[in-house]
Amino acid sequence: MVKEILVDVDLKETRVAIVKNNKLSEIYFERENDNQVVGNIYKGIVTDVLPGMQAAFVNVGLEKNVFLHVSDALALVSDEKRNKNLSIQEVVQPGQKIMVQITKEPLGSKGARVTCDLNLPGRYLVLMVTMDHIGISRRITDSQKRNRLKEITQGFKPDDKGLIVRTAAADKSSAALKRDFNFLIKLWEKIVHHYHNSEAPALLHSDLNLASKIVRDKFTKKIDRVLIDDREEYQDIIELLDFISPSLKSKVQFYDRTKPIFEYYNLEPAIDKTLKRQVWLDCGGYIVVDITEALTSIDVNTGKYVGDTDLADTVLKTNKEAAREIAKQLKLRDIGGIIIIDFIDMDNTEDQKEVLAVLDEELQKDKTKTTILGLTELGLVEMTRKKEKEGVEEFLQKPCPYCDGKGRVLSEDTMALRAIRKLRDLFAEQNDEAVLLEVHPQVAARLIGLGGNNLKELEAELDRHIYVKGSEELHIEEIDIVETGSKKAIAELASPVEVGERKKLEIEEPHVTNKQDGISRIEGFIIDVTDGGHLVGEKVEVEITDVYRTYAKAKVIRNI
């Protein structure tokens, strides 16, 4: 398997993709104006202590005060008191100056979450400033390697601090680990100096930028290549590797092709797919991903897959493939929080266990902590995935300003009926003989009806002249009463063309009922071009031959 890290640097945004066999596996974003604050260390001032929440709010200079729970503040008290059930008032007081580190990005209306248990990550080690402990990455499973790493780190660990040995350290020498430790200790001393010489609130330490962080945390010997399309970022990465892992420098290359790196690797369509609700499986089934504020629901369907043997086998194969795809999508989209999965119903208990085993096996490959809680009485799989920052959907999108997050809009028929009620209300209050109504073209089609029959009935009911104009610029749920007045004035306003006038336009589509004719539009007004059906997509000059209430007829003079 070929595994690559691709770095795309723009003036306003940096994107980093991890690609396996030319397929997108992970995607990360960092924008110029975004405050990526996780890992940052601040000198802050306690502003509020809330006994009811057992928490405090701390001003660190960000837009919103950060949230400090009592369980994350115990590093401020002595070791003897940490095991006691302390209240937040016994740990911090308003006005107190403390050092905190961001553990969770601000999400929505919530401010960032912080801790007083400070950690400084290096290439191979994490320095735990407030804990006396040595931990070995659970991904290092070989007992001999674990014992070797523990023995090495015990040789230089300070008595009042702790160390976590990262996965990348598995086969590294004692000298490499000691060099990483020395860097972290010097960094901590610099932070302490800054703390004592700064006025709160103040930023004491900020983590690396996105590209450098990915290289530090994910660039191991298992990565075949790192490609970077920015010369300055390339040099920064080389300098970083000079210190943390010189042997990997040969795998870093500068991308200098004319075609943008993400286009060359065909990643743009793959990124767009991370925003789709429906994800097709190779077998022909599909999953549907719905992300809400409370939880994420994932539904599994057989789709076009009919299987080879019997229904139970078809369901099992679809569910197993879906389990693999779900684990992939959770990681790719960085979905966190509560997740509910509705696999296709399985009557066989053994089949259920097999599907859950596949899901669990795939989730083990995800470094973000996940927990499968099991099947509910309704046969739904409950699980959680740690949420530390915005997922891809939240980062790239915003709530729809039209549907207010519902994901649905009113139908053309509903809007046509609303337009009719609006006209009834209008003419109940005033006596103008005509009106020009502007709506979305699909709504206009419903109002006018086949051959104008719906419009004729409405005019007969209201005893008024009604002109309907379709506009692509209007949202489907908008209704615009443009003008009311005399029939002559509104007719002139409604029609943008006159008989005998020549216009240059593009044939947009064939006529719905008369395929020989072509349809174009001028300011939303329909132009029926006689014998223009075969000219769809072409630009022509036409002469207006007839003008009616809702459309005009024209003939082709010449192709342009």
Percent of the chain whose pLDDT exceeds 90: 67
434-439 and 465-470: which strand pairing? parallel
Residue 382, pLDDT above cutoff 90? yes
Contacts of 93 (CB under 8 A, 6+ apart): 46, 49
Its pTM surpasses 0.85: no
pLDDT for residue 236: 94
Task: State the average pLDDT over residues 118-128.
Answer: 94
The sign of the dihedral angle between the CA atoms of 258, 261, 266, 271 is negative
The third-level CATH classification (topology) of the domain covering 42-115 is OB fold (Dihydrolipoamide Acetyltransferase, E2P) (2.40.50)
Q: Rounded distance, CA 363 to CA 322, Å?
A: 13
What the block records as the tokens of 376 is 């509910």
pLDDT, residue 390, reads 78
Highest mean pLDDT: which of 74-83, 338-347, 383-392, 401-410? Answer: 338-347
Give the integer Cα–Cα distance in Å for 17 and 362: 20
153 vs 347: CA distance, rounded Å: 52
pLDDT value for 549: 80
Instruction: Spell out the alpha helix ranges (H) of 155-257.
Output: 174-196, 210-218, 231-244
* 152 has pLDDT over 90: yes
pLDDT at 39 over 70: yes
Check whether the bond before 269 is cis (ω within 30° of 0): no
Q: CA 80, 82, 85: angle at the middle one, nearest 5?
A: 115
Range with the lowest mean pLDDT among 49-63, 235-249, 300-314, 432-446? 300-314
Average pLDDT for 13-42: 88
Question: 494 vs 250, which has greater pLDDT?
Answer: 250
Pairwise CA distance, residues 181 & 152, whole Å: 11
Instruction: Encode burial over 74-86: b for 16+ CB neighbours within 10 A, e otherwise.
Output: bbbeeeeeeeeeb
State both tokens at 44: 């802050």
For residues 51 and 292, the model is more confident at: 51
Tokens of 538: 């072409």
Architecture of domain 412-494: 3-Layer(aba) Sandwich (3.40)
Lowest mean pLDDT among 105-109, 271-275, 358-362, 377-381: 105-109
For residues 48-61, give the mean pLDDT.
95
Give the per-residue pLDDT at 68: 96
Torsional sign, CA 229, 235, 240, 246: positive
The residues, ordered by sequence, that sit 6+ positions from 389 with a Cβ below 8 Å of its Cβ are 38, 104, 105, 107, 334
Residue 307 has pLDDT above 70, yes or no: no
The mean-pLDDT minimum among 123-132, 335-344, 404-413, 470-479 falls in: 404-413
- What was the pLDDT predicted at 404? 73
Q: Looking at the predicted structure, is the pLDDT value of residue 417 above 70?
A: yes
Query: What does the pLDDT average to over 148-173?
Result: 92
Taking residues 151-158, report their average pLDDT. 94
Fold classification of 118-206 (topology level): Ribosomal Protein S5; domain 2 (3.30.230)
Q: DSSP assignment, residue 549?
A: S
Distance CA 436, CA 417 (A): 17
| Residue with token string 């928490």 | 55
Q: How confident is the model at residue 492 (pLDDT cuts 50, 70, 90)?
A: confident
In the DSSP assignment, the letter for residue 11 is S
Mean pLDDT of all residues in 431-452: 90
Residue 496 pLDDT > 90? no
The per-residue pLDDT for 373 is 92
Mean pLDDT of 506-531: 89
For the chain, what is the mean pLDDT? 91
Nearest 10 degrees: Cα torsion 498, 502, 504, 508: 50
Q: Sorting pLDDT into bands at 50, 70 and 90, what band is 367?
A: confident
Element (H, E) at 527: strand 525-530
Distance CA 336, CA 370 (A): 9
Give the separation between CA 41 and CA 118, rounded to whole angstroms. Answer: 8
**Per-residue pLDDT, 387:** 82
User: The CATH number of 3-35+208-268 is which of 3.30.420.60, 3.60.40.10, 1.10.150.20, 3.40.50.720?
Assistant: 3.30.420.60
> What's the pLDDT at 34?
64
The token pair that represents 457 in the structure block: 């009935």
Cβ count near 302 (within 10 Å):
20
3-state secondary structure of 541: strand
CA distance 425 to 73: 63
> Domain 502-559 sits in which CATH superfamily?
Nucleic acid-binding proteins (2.40.50.140)
Statement: residue 12 has pLDDT above 90: no
- Pick the range with the lowest mean pLDDT from 61-75, 211-225, 402-416, 426-440: 402-416
